[in-house]
């Protein structure tokens, strides 16, 4: 018997379970027969011997079933243990295999960790932003209502009377409608006043959302009356950080904007209401009765709970009917006004969804490339192990067993990759969230304190398994079939099978193609961002410092005090060394702001639905100079334009061009529909400024002086000689000197404001990540090409040697090798472009001034990939060029 | 002496282990060894003996293998495993201590 046959017999020696019963029978029969024989030998007759043996034995049938059951249990337990042992052996073997090739293991681990880590990080953010439910009862029934105007072109908050009418007439559609009004408040404290985000809400707001307080109660009907009630509800976070989680918080008070409020409730942890920003303090609505009567005054945000079964579309139609009725009854304020009903989820995540979808796709592509790369490496490596596998086949390992072993190896490395990847994801999520500017973060409180959660762990584990199977199965199958071939000729050098070569080539082509897709995506967004940043925003952002100063408390209750404070503040900061110009504005550019409708005197009365409309900005000091907004005609505001003088305004060029026919705007007068008694004279025209978004045209804007319409909240704007950041402390000190109780916030350069503005962020954030993914993809694809080509050169050493012997020049040999790489790159490049055209639609919403088929981007990407492939081919090509006929012959 | 004694709990196990201490035996030989060495004082029902054998096998104290008997028939041979040998040592010691104590008490 040959030794292999013996090994096989040993492997099969374990009894199958079916034989358990027969074995018990055999054993008992042997016992009884032996005993009977012995008794007969001692002289008993056979019947007596039989009877005595049976008596000595006891109940044979019972013994039989008892033993059979016992043995079956034992056999089952042993099989389980054996399987576990085999698995453990496989794992130990896999680890030993990797330990023998540490460089390879580290390379594979790094690739996988990066792929899996990036995917987990993105998934964690996607999960929190898009998949996790909103923390409200039956959140799918919640909608946000916006009024539309200019025939649907613009949206605004609702006016209070409109809201009251919706409530009264929308009973068939809504189970409830409630309003909220986000606000920043100043809270007095031991370390001076602190600016805190808050919101004023109608009494049933929390009940509508279905939120039960952790402590105390929510608001009650009647508490949201004009003037409000001196009570407050705290968010869980505020309660923990500012009150130390005091269980007796309900007996305490806080001083908000100079008003003492009793704490009546604390909200549960995990509650957030993103549309109101990161509001930490909640108060009942307190606007005056007068404000609540103004149908032209749009300030109330409205959320509604749809009746079960009512779709948002149906709600839109129903409220649309109410709005039409209101337009007929109140044409002065309501003509041209409509309604937009947005599911609350879209309202919360609508802005980030396209960004996150693009990132999810991009990072998925990266994982595919990583897997293809690892698969390529493993195929090469598995073929290199054909001899080892052949030996193991010969000593009895089945093909299934080999495949399992190889899969265990790939799963071991992918599990390790997942573990490292998870650590990367942990850090990655923090980086991702830290990269979101504070202004945008306020709209996404669910991203605060984000870390990989159990779902992300499940996701990562799933990814690792999938990746391990995906890149492990094919090499395992190829290698195990190769083992069969190898077994036939153990000593012969194994040559690469055709399917193996083709598959590796295909994998590399796929890597190149996906890399091209990623690069094109990143390239298009990058070009858009550059185009966007080259746009003239209408102001000069460099060397400008901004700082928001809100006036709060009884001391600033009157217009005079507000006016005096900002004048004094401007006077003191203008005197600071390094300040070239100083002004203030109600809202800096790019942060949006309210609008007003108006009519120009001397022009025909416009239809109510299409009245001229402009963004309003109150300014102080030398705002236009400080912000770098050019004066085109007339004059800017002067100190004489005060409350005693006639009301004057400065308008933007777009306002003049669009709404003041005749070309001569200075000297014309206009009237705002909201303040019908006053007329305002245009004294100057300034350049257009993108007051809203950088990627939309500058809207018509009208400026007025705070001396004539004082403000309690303005942003200081300083043009500086040097680095604006160096003046931050001085600005704080200047405010503190005037009033130590006042907070200063959003102390940042105007360049920062631009960088953090939604239009820029929505491109820069995905661009940075896509660029990173694309760079890694390019590296991996280059390594993939290198691996295939270098392996090909090693395989063809003999052939190349013969060619050299026959007179092929090194140049010719190099060309031969480079052709291989170039072919892979060409096929991959073409495939990539074909994939990129549909894939680029995903980023279409992020593009600005660049078509999705931008020829320049495509050309640069293809050239980059071509260059990388050439570089990857160069090393093996040089090696081929150095082929020595003698070595080739000796190797044989 | 034909009187049979009820076996104390665990006694059969230690007897079986001891029976196998001298080398592999099949079940029948084990039964005979116990009968012979105890001068038929301790009468063990064969059924109980087999249950003990199989239970000890499941516990890993002994292992079984099919082999040929003296008259060349298929028989199941049991053999002590190293843990079985250790268990035998421990149980014999326990038993001796116990029996000595009982003796002392009865002779007092």
The tens digit of pLDDT for each residue in A600-618 reads 998 888 887 788 989 999 9
Separation CA A203–CA A221 (nearest Å):
5
* Cross-chain CB nearest to A63 (options B50, B69, B74): B50
CB contact, 8 Å: A62 with chain B? yes
- CB within 8 Å: A63 and B47: yes
- Least confident span in A487-501, A816-830, A862-876: A487-501
Are A31 and B48 an interchain contact pair (Cβ–Cβ within 8 Å)? Answer: no
Same domain, residue pair A496 and A634 = no
**Contacting residues of B for A73, CB less than 8 Å apart:** 58
Q: Is residue B5 part of a domain?
A: no
Cβ within 8 Å, pair A56-B45: yes
- The distance of A59 to chain B (nearest Cα, Å) reads 7
For residue A11, what pLDDT is reported? 47
Q: In chain B, which among 13-72 make CB contacts under 8 A with chain A?
A: 26-28, 31, 45-48, 50-51, 54-55, 57-58, 66, 69
Report which of residues A835 and A804 the model is more confident about. Answer: A835
Amino acid A811: pLDDT: 87
Domain encompassing residue B18? 11-107
Give CA–CA dist A436/A771, Å, rounded.
17
Question: Is there a contact between A67 and B48 if contact means CB atoms under 8 Å apart?
Answer: no
C-alpha span between A734 and A570 (Å, rounded): 9
Residue B55 to residue A60, Cβ atoms within 8 A:
no
DSSP code, position A692: S
Q: What is the pTM of this model?
A: 0.73
**A667-677 pLDDT, tens per residue?**
999 999 878 88
Report yes or no on A852 lying in a domain. Answer: yes
In a domain? residue A561: yes
The residue with tokens 């920062």 is A752
The domain total for chain A is 4
Do A80 and A12 reside in the same domain of the chain? yes
- Best probe of the B interface among A21, A22, A31, A60, by most B CBs < 10 A, is A31
Q: Give the residue among A838, A839, A693 at the shortest CA–CA distance from A351.
A: A693
Judge if A593 and A687 occupy the same domain.
yes
Q: Tell me, what DSSP letter sits at residue A603?
A: S
Give every CB contact of residue A127 below 8 A, 6+ residues apart in sequence.
Answer: A453, A455, A456, A459
pLDDT confidence band for A494 (50 / 70 / 90): very low
Window from A86-100, A200-214, A606-620 with minimum mean pLDDT: A86-100
Query: How do residues A683-707 score in pLDDT, each as one tens digit?
Result: 999 999 999 889 888 999 999 999 9
Q: Are B50 and A67 a contacting pair at CB < 8 A?
A: yes
Task: Give chain B's residues under pLDDT 50.
Answer: 1-6
Per DSSP, helices labelled H in A639-757 are: 653-659, 728-738, 750-756
Residue A514 in domain:
yes
A58 touches chain B (CB under 8 A): yes
Give the minimum alpha-carbon distance from A493 to chain B in angstroms, rounded to a whole number. 44
Query: What are A231's strand-pairing partners?
Result: A262
What pLDDT shows up at residue A167?
93
Do residues A724 and A544 lie in contact, with contact meaning Cβ atoms separated by under 8 Å?
Answer: yes
A776 and A724 fall within a common domain: no
**DSSP 3-state assignment of A619?**
strand
Highest-confidence range of A183-187, A505-509, A701-705, by mean pLDDT? A701-705
List the single residue in A35, A58, A73 with the smallest CB-CB distance to B47.
Answer: A58
Question: Which residues on chain B are in Cβ contact (under 8 Å) with A28?
Answer: 50
Euclidean distance between CA atoms A21 and A17, whole angstroms: 9
Element (H, E) at A9: helix A3-11
**Can you spell out the DSSP letters for A219-269?**
--TTTTSTT--SEEEE-HHHHHHHSTT-TTGGG-EEEETTEEEEEEEEPPT
B66 lies in some domain: yes
Residue A58 and residue B55: Cβ atoms within 8 Å?
no
CATH for B23: 1.10.10.10
Chain B partners within 8 Å of A30 (Cβ): 26-28, 69, 73-76
Q: How far is A62 from chain B (nearest CA, A)?
A: 8
A-chain residues near B28 (CB < 8 A) = 30-31, 34-35
pLDDT at A314: 93
Residues A506, A559 within the same domain: no
Among A31, A58, A62, the residue with its CB nearest the CB of B28 is A31
User: Would you call A70 and B55 a contact, using CB atoms and an 8 Å cutoff?
Assistant: yes
Measured between beta carbons, the chain A residues lying within 8 angstroms of B50 are 27-28, 31, 63, 67
**CA closest to B69 among chain A residues:** A30
Tokens 């299934």 belong to: A400
Show residues of chain A in contact with B47, CB under 8 Å. 57-60, 62-63, 66
Domain range for A599 is 553-742
B1 falls within a domain:
no
Structure tokens at A58: 């006891």
- The alpha-carbon gap from A88 to the nearest alpha carbon of chain B, in Å, equals 21
Q: Which of B54, B58, B75 sits opposite A30 (nearest CB)?
A: B75
A440 and A566 both lie in a single domain? no
pLDDT in the model for residue A208 = 95
Query: A-chain residues within 8 Å CB-CB of B27?
Result: 27, 30-31
A192/B60: higher pLDDT = B60
Question: Residue B6 domain-assigned?
Answer: no
List, for residues A854-863, the tens digit of each pLDDT value: 999 999 999 9
> What is the least distance, in Å, from the CA of B98 to any CA of chain A?
29
ipTM at complex level:
0.89
Point out the residue among B26, B58, B76 whose CB comes nearest to the CB of A70.
Answer: B58
Give the residue from chain B lying closest to A13, CA to CA: B65
Of B28, B31, B51, the CB nearest to A66: B51
Residue B4 within any structural domain of the chain: no
Q: Which residue has the tokens 């993939």?
A: A784
Residue A646's pLDDT band, with cuts at 50, 70 and 90, is very high
CB atoms within 10 A of CB A220: 14
Overall average pLDDT of the A550-575 stretch = 88
| Closest-CA residue to A282 (of A225, A351, A232) | A232
In a domain, A751, yes or no: no
pLDDT at A215: 92
pLDDT of residue A477: 74
CB distance B58–A57 less than 8 Å? Answer: no
Using the Cβ of A40 and the Cβ atoms of chain B, whether some distance falls under 8 Å is answered with: no
pLDDT digits (tens, 9 = 90+) for A1-45: 454 444 444 444 445 556 888 889 889 999 999 999 989 998 889
Chain A CB contacts of B26 under 8 Å are 27, 30
Among A100, A118, A142, the domain-final residue is A100
A337 CA to centre of own chain: 35
What is the full DSSP assignment across A797-850? Answer: HHHHHHHHHTT--HHHHHHHHHHHHHHHHHHHHHHHHHHHHHHGGGGGGG-SS-
- Spell out which residues of chain A touch residue B75, defining contact as CB-CB under 8 Å: 27, 30
Contact assignment for B27 to A31 by CB distance below 8 Å: yes
For residue A498, the model assigns a pLDDT of: 57
Tell whether B73 is within 8 A of chain A (Cβ): yes
SS3 at position A634 = strand
A799-805's contacts with Cβ under 8 Å and 24+ in sequence apart are A799/A888, A800/A880, A800/A883, A800/A888, A801/A883, A801/A884, A801/A885, A801/A886, A801/A887, A801/A888, A801/A889, A801/A891, A802/A885, A802/A888, A803/A883, A804/A883, A804/A884, A804/A885, A804/A888, A805/A885, A805/A888, A805/A889
**Any CB–CB contact under 8 A between A65 and chain B?**
no
A23 interface with B at CB cutoff 8 Å: yes
Contact A266, A239 (CB under 8 A): yes
| Range picked from A122-126, A222-226, A448-452, A885-889 for highest mean pLDDT | A222-226
Nearest to A30 among B54, B58, B73 (CB): B73
Inter-chain residue contact A27 with B76, CB threshold 8 Å: yes
Confidence (pLDDT) at A565: 94
Q: How confident is the model at residue A228 (pLDDT cuts 50, 70, 90)?
A: confident
Number of domains, chain B: 1
CA nearest to B73 within chain A: A30
Q: Helix B11-20 crosses helix B82-107 at what angle (to 10 degrees)?
A: 130
Subunit contact A31:B58, Cβ cutoff 8 A: no
Tokens standing for A376? Answer: 């390529």
Chain A residues close to B55, C-beta within 8 Å: 70
């Amino acid at each position: 018997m040959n030794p292999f046959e013996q090994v096989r017999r040993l492997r099969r020696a374990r009894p199958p379970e079916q034989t358990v019963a027969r074995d018990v029978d055999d054993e008992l029969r042997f016992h009884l027969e032996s005993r009977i024989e012995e008794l007969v030998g001692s002289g008993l007759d056979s019947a007596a011997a039989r009877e005595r043996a049976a008596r000595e034995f006891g109940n044979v049938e019972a013994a039989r079933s008892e033993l059979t059951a016992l043995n079956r249990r034992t056999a089952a337990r042993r099989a389980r243990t054996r399987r576990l042992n085999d698995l453990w052996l496989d794992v130990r073997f896999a680890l030993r295999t990797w330990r023998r090739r540490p460089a390879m293991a580290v390379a594979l681990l790094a690739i996988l960790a990066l792929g899996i880590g990036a995917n987990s990080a993105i998934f964690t953010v996607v999960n929190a932003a898009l998949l996790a439910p909103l923390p409200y009862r039956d959140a799918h029934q919640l909608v946000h209502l916006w009024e539309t105007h200019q025939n649907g072109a613009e949206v605004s908050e609702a006016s209070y009377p409109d809201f009251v009418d919706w409530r009264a007439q929308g009973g068939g559609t809504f189970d409830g409608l409630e309003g909220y009004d986000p606000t920043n408040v100043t809270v007095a404290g031991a370390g001076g006043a602190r600016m805190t985000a808050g919101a004023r809400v109608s009494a049933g707001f929390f009940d509508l959302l279905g939120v039960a307080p952790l402590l105390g109660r929510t608001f009650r009907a009647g508490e949201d009356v004009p003037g409000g009630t001196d009570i407050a509800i705290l968010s869980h976070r505020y309660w923990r950080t500012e009150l130390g989680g005091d269980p007796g918080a309900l007996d305490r008070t806080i001083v908000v904007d100079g008003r003492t409020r009793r704490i009546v409730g604390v909200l549960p942890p995990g509650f957030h209401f993103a549309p109101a920003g990161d509001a930490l303090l909640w108060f009942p609505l307190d606007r005056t009765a007068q404000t609540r009567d103004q149908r032209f005054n749009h300030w109330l945000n409205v959320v509604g709970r749809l009746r079960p079964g009512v779709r948002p579309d149906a709600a839109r139609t129903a409220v649309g009917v109410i709005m039409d009725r209101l337009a007929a009854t109140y044409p002065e304020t309501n003509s041209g006004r409509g309604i937009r009903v947005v599911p609350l989820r879209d309202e919360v995540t609508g802005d980030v969804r396209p960004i996150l979808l693009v990132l999810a796709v991009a990072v998925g592509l990266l994982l595919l490339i990583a897997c293809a790369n690892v698969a390529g490496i493993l195929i090469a490596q598995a073929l290199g192990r054909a001899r080892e596998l052949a030996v193991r086949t010969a000593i009895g390992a089945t093909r299934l067993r080999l495949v399992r072993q190889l899969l265990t190896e790939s799963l071991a490395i992918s599990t390790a990759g997942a573990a490292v990847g998870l650590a990367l994801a942990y850090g990655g999520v923090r980086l991702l969230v830290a990269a979101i500017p504070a202004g945008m973060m306020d709209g996404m409180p669910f991203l605060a304190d984000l870390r990989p959660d159990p779902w992300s762990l499940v996701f990562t584990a799933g990814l690792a398994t999938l990746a391990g199977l995906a890149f492990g199965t094919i090499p395992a199958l190829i290698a195990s079939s190769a083992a069969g071939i190898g077994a036939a000729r153990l000593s012969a050098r194994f040559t690469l099978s055709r399917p193996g070569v083709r598959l590796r080539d295909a994998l590399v082509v796929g890597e190149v193609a996906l890399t091209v897709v990623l690069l094109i995506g990143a390239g298009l967004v990058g070009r858009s961002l550059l185009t966007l940043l080259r746009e003239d925003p209408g102001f000069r952002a460099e060397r400008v410092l901004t700082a928001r100063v809100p006036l709060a408390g009884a001391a600033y209750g009157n217009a005079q005090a507000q006016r005096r404070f900002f004048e004094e503040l401007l006077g003191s900061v203008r005197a600071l060394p390094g300040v070239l110009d100083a002004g203030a504005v109600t809202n800096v550019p790019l942060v949006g702001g309210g609008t007003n409708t108006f009519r120009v005197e001397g022009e025909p009365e416009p239809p109510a639905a299409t009245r001229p409309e402009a963004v309003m900005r109150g300014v102080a000091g030398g705002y236009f100079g400080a912000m770098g907004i050019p004066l085109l005609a007339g004059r800017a505001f002067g100190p004489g334009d005060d409350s005693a003088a006639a009301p004057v305004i400065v308008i933007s060029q777009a306002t003049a061009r669009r709404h003041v026919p005749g070309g001569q705007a200075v000297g014309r007068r206009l009237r705002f529909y909201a303040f019908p008694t006053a007329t305002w004279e245009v004294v100057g025209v300034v350049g257009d400024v993108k007051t809203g978004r950088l990627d939309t045209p500058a809207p018509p804007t009208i400026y007025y002086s705070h001396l004539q319409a004082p403000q309690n909240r303005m942003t200081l704007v300083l043009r500086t000689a040097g680095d604006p950041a160096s003046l931050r402390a001085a600005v704080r000190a200047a405010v503190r000197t005037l009033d130590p109780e006042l907070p200063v916030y959003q102390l940042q350069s105007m360049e920062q404001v631009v960088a953090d503005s939604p239009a820029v962020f929505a491109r820069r954030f995905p661009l940075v990540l896509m660029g990173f993914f694309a760079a890694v993809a390019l590296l991996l694809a280059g390594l993939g090409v290198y691996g295939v080509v270098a392996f090909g050169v090693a395989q063809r050493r003999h052939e190349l040697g013969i060619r050299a012997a026959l007179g092929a020049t090194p140049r010719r040999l190099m060309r031969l090798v480079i052709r291989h790489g170039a072919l892979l790159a060409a096929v991959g490049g073409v495939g990539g472009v074909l994939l990129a055209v549909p894939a680029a639609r995903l980023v279409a919403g992020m593009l600005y001034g660049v078509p999705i088929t931008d020829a320049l981007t495509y050309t640069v990407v293809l050239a980059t990939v071509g260059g990388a492939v050439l570089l990857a081919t160069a090393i093996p090509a040089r090696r081929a060029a150095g082929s020595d006929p003698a070595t080739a012959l000796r190797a044989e | 002496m034909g009187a049979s004694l009820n076996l104390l709990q665990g006694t059969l196990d230690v007897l079986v282990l001891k029976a196998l201490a001298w080398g592999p035996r099949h079940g029948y030989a084990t039964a005979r060894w116990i009968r012979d060495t105890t001068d038929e004082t301790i009468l063990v029902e064969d059924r109980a003996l087999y249950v003990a054998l199989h239970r000890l096998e499941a516990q890993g104290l002994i292992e079984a293998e099919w082999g040929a008997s003296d008259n060349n028939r298929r028989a199941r041979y049991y053999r002590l495993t190293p843990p079985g040998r250790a268990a035998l040592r421990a149980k014999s010691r326990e038993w001796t201590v116990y029996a000595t104590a009982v003796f002392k008490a009865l002779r007092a």
